[in-house]
């Protein structure tokens, strides 16, 4: 029997950004308390003060390269919402809403597939074990769960040889420094080989599907946006037909739109034939994780993907609302302007509030004053009784929330979304697990897969609507009304909401005399990875780790990684570093 101890995992790898986890265990190795610390300082809000609101998206988008477009669009929406609040007739062209939906959904599917295969799967898949697999048996397994074309014995034998070559040369590279052979790995060698093969397939797939962002946004990462619509002029001709440059030569034309259609098909095929079958196959060996990693049952979704308008929440595919205590029979509304609803607390965060650190602040009144009081690095442990993270602690009506794919799938399930209910019920039947398994590390991982299926299918509908508009002669993608700040009221404020792949994202802006007077970004990984609040309530990461985790070996904390990775952390979104002039602080050269 082991003794009680504190486990430190720093940094958590296979995530975006820098995250430290400390967990205390009892004598049986069970985690009794956990603490999540963002170890990079946040400051993007300071950089944006005094700038032109129309330029804010370009700065905000650089918060993260993985969540490559969501901060840009949330920032644009915040300015548009400020205009709409001040001038209710202000709207965005429908084509722009449809193109935004396509870009956001493409980000989801791309991000979720990459996360599953390249960041999270290695918590469940033993790569080295794949070398023991029988390629013929692997082929039989693959063909039993999917019609995917790349599933012959020869294909899997070639993949096996490739992995063997890496091992023989001591060049495991991306597969090195893992816990291969850990008893928590349960997949047979053939399932491991199949997953490794699809890991490699996903690398090539993701390179192709990002073309959608480049067509509509000019590039990827960080596609272009504009307040008032999208910078995607549409031409019903091709550049070859026109034989001229200008708008027709640079606009989205029929050739580009056909490429978008091809990308949508590629996404749907991979999700249907590879991602969904793999998830169900792997989950079948880890059904016990349907009882591990519960965050407490509170979920929040801002809603997104409007069929009509951003301000018509009834037209959202993903509903807005809050679920409390796992009660799917009641959806609580969100009042974005109520001071006592959405608040950020800093009792355990390295910030300072002008009126004292014990109270929470609504984002419209938010403050960003850095106040590091932690130990001087390097240090053994955090002082968890004091401030211990660069992340704030967002709360809804004083309650911690989980945001992300599970929150959204539960919201759609609870509101009767037909496809969601069918997919969730099918998954529960296939795995033979109760509905309570949704509230877990396994449920969170499955929800990300099911959401990818729902959104990949939804992309076809938005594309068809866009094409119908174009064929009807409606090609407008930008509203230039009130573009000039001289037409704006002296004061405006607004909030740009977006359901990013990792969860509810909100950018809150105050505008005075045409310039940003205050800016606050409350991001998904702040909701999930934030520290304890004034009442001592843990954030989602902390609560999940405190639910039924027993460590086999503290020196190989695979159990911690599984649950933390199930949230798909993005700490660069939750914190950020640069100087007040927006200049880089360090330059790294690789020779």
Residues annotated catalytic, as ranges? 16, 64, 67, 71, 502, 525, 570, 573
E strands, 261-314, in order: 299-301, 304-306
E strands, 304-439, in order: 304-306, 316-318, 321-323, 342-345, 393-396
Whether residue 395 is preceded by a cis peptide bond, meaning omega within 30 degrees of 0, is no
Closest CA to 72 of 498, 516, 587, 406: 498
Any idea of the CA torsion for 472, 473, 474, 476, to the nearest 10 degrees? Answer: 160
Closest CA to 573 of 364, 392, 397: 392
Report yes or no: 232 and 256 within 8 Å, Cβ to Cβ: no
Q: What are phi and psi of 3, to 5 degrees?
A: -105, 160
Whether residue 200 is preceded by a cis peptide bond, meaning omega within 30 degrees of 0, is no
d(CA 140, CA 142): 6
Distances (CA, A) of 151 to 43, 88, 127, 135, 430: 48, 55, 18, 10, 22
Distances (CA, A) of 552 to 2, 4, 182, 514, 558: 10, 13, 9, 58, 9
d(CA 404, CA 504): 7
Q: Is 447 exposed, middle or buried (0-12, 13-18, 19+ CB in 10 A)?
A: buried
């Amino acid at each position: 029997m082991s003794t009680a101890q504190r486990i430190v995992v720093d940094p958590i790898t296979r995530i975006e950004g820098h995250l430290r986890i400390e967990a205390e265990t009892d004598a049986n190795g069970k985690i009794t308390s956990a603490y999540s610390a963002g170890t990079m300082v946040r400051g993007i809000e300071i950089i944006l003060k005094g700038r032109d609101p129309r330029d804010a998206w370009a700065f905000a988008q650089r918060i993260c390269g993985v969540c490559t477009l969501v901060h840009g669009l949330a920032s644009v929406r915040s300015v548009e919402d400020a205009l709409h609040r001040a001038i209710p007739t202000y709207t965005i062209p429908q084509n722009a809403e449809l193109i935004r939906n396509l870009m956001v959904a493409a980000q989801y599917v791309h991000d979720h597939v990459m996360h599953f295969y390249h960041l999270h799967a290695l918590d469940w898949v033993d790569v080295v074990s794949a070398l023991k697999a029988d390629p013929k048996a692997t082929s039989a397994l693959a063909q039993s769960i999917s019609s995917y074309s790349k599933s012959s014995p020869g294909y899997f034998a070639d993949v096996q040889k490739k992995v063997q070559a890496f091992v023989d040369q001591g060049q495991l590279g991306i597969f090195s420094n893992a816990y291969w052979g850990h008893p928590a790995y349960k997949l047979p060698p053939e399932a491991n080989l199949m997953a490794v093969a699809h890991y490699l397939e996903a690398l090539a797939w993701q390179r192709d599907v990002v073309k959608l962002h480049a067509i509509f946004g000019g590039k990827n990462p960080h596609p272009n946006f504009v307040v008032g619509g999208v910078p995607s002029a549409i031409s019903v001709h091709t550049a070859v037909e026109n034989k001229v440059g200008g708008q027709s030569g640079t606009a989205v034309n029929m050739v580009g739109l056909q490429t978008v259609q091809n990308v949508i098909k590629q996404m749907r095929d991979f999700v249907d034939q590879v991602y969904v079958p793999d998830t169900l196959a792997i989950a079948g060996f880890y059904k016990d994780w349907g009882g591990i990693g519960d965050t407490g049952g509170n979920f929040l979704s801002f809603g997104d993907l409007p069929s009509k308008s951003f301000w018509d929440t009834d037209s959202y595919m993903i509903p807005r609302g809050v679920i409390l205590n796992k009660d799917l029979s009641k959806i609580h509304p969100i009042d974005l302007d109520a001071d006592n609803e959405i608040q950020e607390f800093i009792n355990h965060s390295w910030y300072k509030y002008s009126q004292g650190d014990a109270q929470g602040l609504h984002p419209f009144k938010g403050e960003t004053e850095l106040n590091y009081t932690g130990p001087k690095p390097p240090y053994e442990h955090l002082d968890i009784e004091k401030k211990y993270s660069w992340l704030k602690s967002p709360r809804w009506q004083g309650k911690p929330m989980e945001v992300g794919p599970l929150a959204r799938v539960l919201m759609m399930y609870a509101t009767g979304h037909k496809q969601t209910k069918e997919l969730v019920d099918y998954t529960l039947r296939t795995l033979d697990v109760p509905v309570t398994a949704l509230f877990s590390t396994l449920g969170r991982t499955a929800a990300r897969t099911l959401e990818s299926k729902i959104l990949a299918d939804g992309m076809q509908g938005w594309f068809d609507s866009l094409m119908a508009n174009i064929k009807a002669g409606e090609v407008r993608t930008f509203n230039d009304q009130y573009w000039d700040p001289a037409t704006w009221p002296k004061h405006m404020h607004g909030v740009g909401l977006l359901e990013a792949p990792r969860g509810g994202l909100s950018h809150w802006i105050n505008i005075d005399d045409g310039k940003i007077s205050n800016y606050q970004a409350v991001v998904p990984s702040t909701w999930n990875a934030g520290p304890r609040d004034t009442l001592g309530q843990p954030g989602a990461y902390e609560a999940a780790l405190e639910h039924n985790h027993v460590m086999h070996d503290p020196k190989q904390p695979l159990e911690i990684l599984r649950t933390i990775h199930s949230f798909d952390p993005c700490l660069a979104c939750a914190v950020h570093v640069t100087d007040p002039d927006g200049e880089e602080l360090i330059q790294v050269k690789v020779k």
